[in-house]
Amino acid sequence: MLKEMMVGVVGAGTMGRGIAQVASAAGHQVILMDLDREALEQAMAFLTKIQDRAVEKGRASRDEADALLARISTGSSLEALSGCGLVIEAIVEDSAVKGALFSGLESVLSSDATIASNTSSLSITALAAGLKHPDRFIGLHFFNPAPLLPLVEVVPALQSREGLGDEMLALMRQWGKQPALAQDTPGFIVNRVARPFYGEAIRILEEGVADVATIDWAMTELGGFRMGPFALMDLIGNDINYAVTESVWTAFHYDARYKPSFAQKRNVDAGWLGRKSGRGWYAHGEGAVLPEPRRDKDLGQDILWRILVMLINEAADAVFWGVASAEDVDRAMKGGVNYPKGLLAWAEDVGLSNCVDALDALRAKYGEDRYRCSPLLRARASEGRSFFA
């Protein structure tokens, strides 16, 4: 894929304008398309502000910033995208709405143009099935903010033509990203592997082991995570985070490992969505006082260890089921959600047998399938082999 290829982005919201910025920074002419002209104006104003700030801080020259902005044009009809070789959709997570868009795109794009979806939760294969030419379709899942986070999950559909995944991996590398190839399974890599970061933290809270502030403290101060699970859920929005968990749980035929929590559902029902509503797991807004954690290192190491082994187990199972390679799983968790280490490398640092023993102890204690050990993790521990061998 050459820089001469025009790139279209549909959707002028946070993700769409971020993807447009990334493509333009890589040298492409970009068409940012949205039916809402006001949204397009707001997107361009935002991108201009970002580039002005980059100049002020010395991260770009005025000429570079102006050139990046000049490469982005806007349009409010699909016909504006007719000359694009790649169009990336970043609109509402609704399969019917996306399907209508893809049908429209097929009517205006050339036969060799690629259509990609930035969906984080819908099946790429199911979306491709609605196209006349599903072989041209693929998932390109960027992470927010797209210009800053290096990960892009490249997700071929079952129908994608041979080689399309490799082409998109190469293109994303040209765009300065660190792509990871993922199989089209629920949650892809990150949204699947990350579920215990939230779910097990809430479980610990529900059991009365520790409060939200102490759990967050353990994960940030002792574990090195940039944000604790409850602070992160409040940032994402409890409604969004709960919906993703419920979607993954349903897609996996109600596997206990992904079971949503009553505590988070109650927050959603109460409208306690997090920062955007002024209250979530924490109080937010003017005058809000954050609770003090219980800085007990023994308790904190127990919390960290329990959540960490569940994350490690999920990462190992993703490799076991062929969702992605060990290298791509670790790349995804570092590049998409800023984990301090790749989970499988972390597992080898703390000892695979220790992870297996911890999971077996949790399963014996609770008698729940939630804590079943991944066959691959158990095998690697037994054989003394690395995930990366």
Confirm if 146 and 85 have CB atoms less than 8 A apart: no
Which residues are registered as beta bridge partners of 87?
A: 8, 115
Cα-Cα end-to-end distance for the chain: 32
CB atoms within 10 A of CB 273: 21
Active site residue ranges: 120, 141, 153, 191
Residue written as tokens 């991260």?
Answer: 59
Strands (E), 234-312: none
DSSP-based helix, strand, coil % in the chain, nearest 5: 55, 10, 35
CA distance 28 to 174: 11
CA distance 243 to 227: 20
Q: Exposed, middle or buried, 69 (CB in 10 Å: 0-12/13-18/19+)? A: middle
For the stretch 335-340, contacts whose Cβ atoms lie closer than 8 Å and that sit 24 or more positions apart, written own/partner, are: 335/143, 335/149, 335/150, 335/151, 335/178, 335/180, 336/143, 336/149, 336/151, 336/153, 336/189, 336/190, 337/143, 337/190, 337/194, 338/149, 338/225, 338/226, 339/225, 340/223, 340/224, 340/225, 340/226
CB atoms within 10 A of CB 305: 17
